[in-house]
Amino acid sequence: MTVSLMDPTDISKTQDVETTPFPLDRWYVAALGKELTDKPLGRTLLNRAVVMYRTPDGQIHALEDRCCHRDLPLSLGTVEERGVRCGYHGLLFDGSGKCLEVPGQAKVPSKAKVSAYPVREQDSIIWIWMGSDASSEPNCEPPEYKVHSDERYRYDGDVYHYNAPYQLIHDNLLDLSHLGYVHLRTIGGNASIHMNAEMKVESEGDSVRVLRLMPGSTPPPTYTAAYPFKDKVDRWQEIVFHPSHLEIWTGAVDANTESLDDPNRGGFHLRGFHGVTPETDETCFYFWTQASNPVSNPEETMKLVIEQTAMTFDEDKVVIEAQYANMKRFPDKPMIDIHVDVGPNRARRIVDRLRGA
């Protein structure tokens, strides 16, 4: 796979702002598994209002978030063994969207039903199938994410709401050169080293892989706080883009001690899961987890890693939301590409293709 350092494809602002459709007939992240407890959870995904709930036996279900009687969101209702009960007049719906009971009425009208969405819980992530129409059924299982069950790692995560369309988060994560400008307090480091990192971009099917190596770097604050580095480090950043999520494996070893090609190398590791799911054309959800391999004081170290990761992603949110607001203030101005845009632009072409653009 060749690496082209200057990609001629412009980001078309018109597309970002005005195109409605997202890639459909695929799994998207709907929630982190820990979010679904004993209460229903309402969330708009790809412009569809969805209620998710977990019955006492642990099963999860997703329905359209409305009672078919008077439109109260079912997410304001309560969960029972047989399903979710509306909080206004008590209509009970099962996981297929069928109304099982109209309190006080002998017969349940045949029209009393709501739409259901296929959902799966896998690797502590809730995936939802977003079809192009009501008859669309999953033709595959959701993506696996084995890091969450890998004994070498501990992890935690959170859900962020973004006032920006989903592809701006793709751009941000596929181009980690911004670390030296945006994240100096945590995982940044010398801007020049980031901007001049050796970069390799590969595509395969619907995926893009960006590999960046920064030997001889000064470790940034989060790294030194979490790991006993001696001095300079050899850093790596490996970003794998999929249309529904990105996997980012970053870290460092003491400089000149281990090969960055060795999959079992030691040092400090951060393995991020980044689910990016459109809410509307202009907003999205960002589901992230961060795993690491604490070498001592694992609880304290993980607390620090998660706090600093959250701080880092807070910084990204400020930048991306400001960027989008500004894109709307300058709708007709062209953007120019620079060398770090190769990965983001490949991902945009994949998304364009998947949505039939």
Check residue 215 for interaction with a copy of itself (CB under 8 A): no
Q: Give the residue with the Cβ less far from a copy of itself, 44 or 122.
A: 44
Q: Give the residue with the Cβ less far from a copy of itself, 130 or 253.
A: 130
N-to-C CA span, the chain: 25
Binding span for a copy of itself by CB under 8 A among 67-75, 144-152, 155-163, 281-289: 67-75
Least distance from a copy of itself to the Cβ atom of residue 236, Å: 17
Q: Give the residue with the Cβ less far from a copy of itself, 171 or 247.
A: 171
279, 295 contact by CB (below 8 A): no
Residues binding a copy of itself: number (CB under 8 A):
56
- Range 208-217 burial, b when 16+ CB lie within 10 A, else e: bbbbbbbbeb
The binder of a copy of itself chosen from 7, 94, 171, 238 (CB under 8 A): 171
Q: Where in 123-206 does DSSP place strands (E)?
A: 125-130, 154-162, 198-204
72, 85 contact by CB (below 8 A): no
The binder of a copy of itself chosen from 339, 352, 354, 355 (CB under 8 A): 339
Check residue 3 for interaction with a copy of itself (CB under 8 A): no
Whole-number Å distance between alpha carbons of 297 and 11:
45
162, 313 contact by CB (below 8 A): no
DSSP secondary structure of 7-74: --PPP-HHHHHH------SEEEEEEEGGG-SSS-EEEEETTEEEEEEE-TTS-EEEEESS-TTT---G
Least distance from a copy of itself to the Cβ atom of residue 218, Å: 17
Q: Which helix (H) or strand (E) holds 278?
A: strand 268-278
Whole-number Å distance between alpha carbons of 348 and 62:
29
The binder of a copy of itself chosen from 2, 20, 57, 111 (CB under 8 A): 111
Least distance from a copy of itself to the Cβ atom of residue 126, Å: 21
Backbone φ and ψ of 70, nearest 5°: -135, 20
Structure tokens belonging to residue 224:
């030194």
Check residue 14 for interaction with a copy of itself (CB under 8 A): no
Check residue 311 for interaction with a copy of itself (CB under 8 A): no
Least distance from a copy of itself to the Cβ atom of residue 273, Å: 24
The binder of a copy of itself chosen from 4, 18, 59, 70 (CB under 8 A): 70
Per DSSP, 328 falls in state: H
Q: Give the residue with the Cβ less far from a copy of itself, 125 or 179.
A: 179
Binding span for a copy of itself by CB under 8 A among 55-63, 108-116, 258-266, 267-275: 108-116
Check residue 183 for interaction with a copy of itself (CB under 8 A): no
Whole-number Å distance between alpha carbons of 259 and 276:
32
The binder of a copy of itself chosen from 59, 152, 257, 338 (CB under 8 A): 338
Binding span for a copy of itself by CB under 8 A among 72-80, 141-149, 259-267, 302-310: 72-80
Check residue 211 for interaction with a copy of itself (CB under 8 A): no
Helix and strand numbers, DSSP H then E, in the chain: 7, 18
Backbone φ and ψ of 176, nearest 5°: -80, 5
Q: Give the residue with the Cβ less far from a copy of itself, 304 or 311.
A: 311
The binder of a copy of itself chosen from 30, 79, 92, 182 (CB under 8 A): 182
Check residue 64 for interaction with a copy of itself (CB under 8 A): yes
Please name every residue paired with 56 in a beta bridge, in sequence order, or none if there are none.
none
141, 120 contact by CB (below 8 A): yes
Least distance from a copy of itself to the Cβ atom of residue 337, Å: 8
Site residues, a copy of itself (CB under 8 A) = 11, 13, 44, 49, 64-66, 68-73, 76, 86-91, 102-105, 109, 111-112, 171, 175, 177-178, 180-182, 191-192, 194-197, 318-319, 322-323, 326-327, 329-330, 333-340
